[in-house]
């Protein structure tokens, strides 16, 4: 395979192998080719030799299950596109079968977003989320949070939630479609007074969510078992350090982060536990005509320290302060939102020890603590610690 003209497509995790092979064969035929040879190894990798009508081998195509991707020469990008389209058709067929089984009307689904682990569709006035992941608790967390918040916050109504009973291996959640546009999309169109009014509403809704106690939290709390939230956080932080060592991060950076964790981890015992969204940014807030119409995307919800819901925009604000131009800073939504929330919901940011807690939340963020580019993550963390960005921002 010519690596200089390399092309690839990434597919959802855990697709059945029979579907992958069928998609390849159907797409190959549609391109006037045929499969001359198919080879498999013990790692699940498959290589197809494709032939023209003359019988001459013209191309090799590889399926790499460890990467959920196909590889091919760039000249065969249309073939890869057709394989992806065939997989998508399988998904639509599964959705139609599921809607029929549930007695729900079905029309052509409109894809709203797509990642390797998640698809989001709109079908008439319903929203369908599909998770292709080895983390089934995403579905459980979202469903438990929506049930707990029904009649308390403007959240979607849960229609159906389960592992699909069709052939596809996805987890599926069907909810009502709420009105409005994302606050993130509307932000540039709004004047300061309109933005300020929305943030005040946002603070009130968060406060109501964080008041939720008792039996309504039991289903969500049960997902994480009996281990206390603070102890789970400590174990995750130690996992970050272990992964960094294995990835070859500089020992001086690891030791600085370790020293901070040792000093600050007791702060995790301070916050009151509440239902925490864990991904509260402007893209997950729906607004219309001066009113917040919905809060969505609860797949990361947990029972944890309520202040963690203030982290997302604080992290964006600190990032903007560290690397943003003056022009970008002037219009940065996170900077303005955090400043207003400090007035409207001061407990998120202003309690004693908040700077240390938010630094710990930064380190607990999955994307920032993941397996990719540990060196860059630890370099950013040590810079934030050395220059005191979070403390400087919260005390400004």
Give me the sheet containing 181-182, strands edge to edge. Answer: 181-182, 285-288, 291-295
Residue 164 is predicted with a pLDDT of 56
Residue 270 is predicted with a pLDDT of 86
First to last CA, the chain: 57
Crossing angle of the two packed helices 17-30 and 77-102, in degrees rounded to 10: 130
CB 65 within 8 A of CB 43: yes
Delineate the domains of the chain, giving CATH numbers in brackets. Answer: 3-86 (3.30.310.10), 89-176 (3.30.200.20), 181-395 (3.90.1200.10)
Residue-by-residue DSSP string for 154-209: --PPEEEEEE-SSSS--EEEEEEPPPSEEHHHHGGGS-HHHHHHHHHHHHHHHHHH
d(CA 43, CA 28): 24
CB 336 within 8 A of CB 292: no
DSSP state, 215?
G
Residue 11 is predicted with a pLDDT of 67
Give pLDDT tens digits along the chain (396 positions).
444 455 677 666 566 677 777 778 778 777 777 788 888 887 778 888 888 766 666 677 888 777 777 777 766 677 777 887 877 787 888 889 889 989 999 999 998 887 767 789 999 999 999 887 656 688 889 999 999 999 999 999 999 998 655 545 678 899 999 999 999 999 999 999 999 999 999 999 999 999 988 888 998 999 988 899 999 999 999 999 998 898 889 999 999 999 999 999 999 998 889 999 999 999 999 999 999 999 999 999 999 999 999 988 888 777 777 765 455 555 678 888 999 999 999 999 988 999 999 999 989 886 543 445 678 889 889 999 999 989 888 876
d(CA 56, CA 50): 8
Indicate the pTM of the whole model.
Answer: 0.82
Bridge pairing between strands 181-182 and 69-73: unpaired
DSSP state, 353?
T
């Amino acid at each position: 395979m010519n690596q200089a003209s390399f092309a690839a497509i990434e597919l959802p995790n855990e697709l059945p192998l029979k579907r992958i092979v069928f998609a390849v064969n159907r797409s190959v035929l549609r391109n006037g080719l045929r499969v001359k040879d198919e080879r498999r190894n013990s790692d699940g990798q498959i290589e197809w030799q494709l032939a023209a009508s003359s019988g001459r081998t013209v191309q090799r195509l590889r399926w790499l299950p460890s990467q959920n991707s196909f590889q091919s020469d760039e000249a065969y990008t249309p073939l890869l596109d057709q394989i992806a389209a065939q997989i998508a058709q399988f998904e639509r067929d599964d959705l139609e079968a599921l809607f029929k089984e549930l007695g729900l009307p079905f029309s052509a689904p409109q894809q709203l977003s797509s990642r390797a682990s998640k698809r989001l569709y709109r079908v008439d006035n319903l929203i369908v989320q599909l998770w292709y992941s080895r983390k089934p608790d995403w579905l459980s967390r979202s469903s438990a949070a929506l049930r707990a918040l029904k009649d308390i916050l403007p959240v979607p109504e849960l229609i159906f939630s389960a592992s699909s009973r069709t052939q596809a291996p996805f987890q599926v959640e069907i909810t009502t479609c709420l009105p409005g546009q994302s606050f993130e999309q509307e932000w540039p169109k709004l004047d300061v007074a309109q933005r300020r009014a929305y943030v005040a509403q946002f603070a009130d809704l968060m406060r109501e969510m964080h008041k939720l106690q008792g039996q309504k939290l039991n289903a969500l709390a049960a997902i994480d078992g009996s281990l206390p939230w603070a102890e789970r956080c400590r174990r995750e932080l130690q996992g970050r350090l272990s992964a960094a060592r294995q990835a070859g991060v500089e020992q001086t950076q690891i030791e600085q982060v370790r020293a901070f964790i040792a000093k600050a981890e007791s702060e995790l015992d301070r916050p009151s536990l509440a239902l925490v969204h864990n991904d509260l940014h402007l893209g997950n807030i729906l607004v219309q005509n001066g009113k917040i119409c919905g809060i969505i995307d609860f797949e990361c919800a947990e029972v944890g320290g309520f202040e963690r819901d203030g982290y997302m925009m604080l992290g964006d604000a600190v990032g903007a302060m560290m690397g943003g131009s003056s022009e970008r800073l002037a219009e940065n939504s996170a900077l303005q939102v955090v400043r207003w929330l400090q007035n409207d919901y001061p407990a998120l940011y202003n309690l004693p020890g908040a700077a240390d807690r938010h630094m710990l939340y930064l380190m607990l963020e999955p994307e920032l603590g993941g397996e990719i580019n540990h060196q860059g993550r630890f370099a950013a963390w040590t810079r934030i610690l050395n220059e005191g960005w979070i403390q400087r921002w919260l005390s400004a």
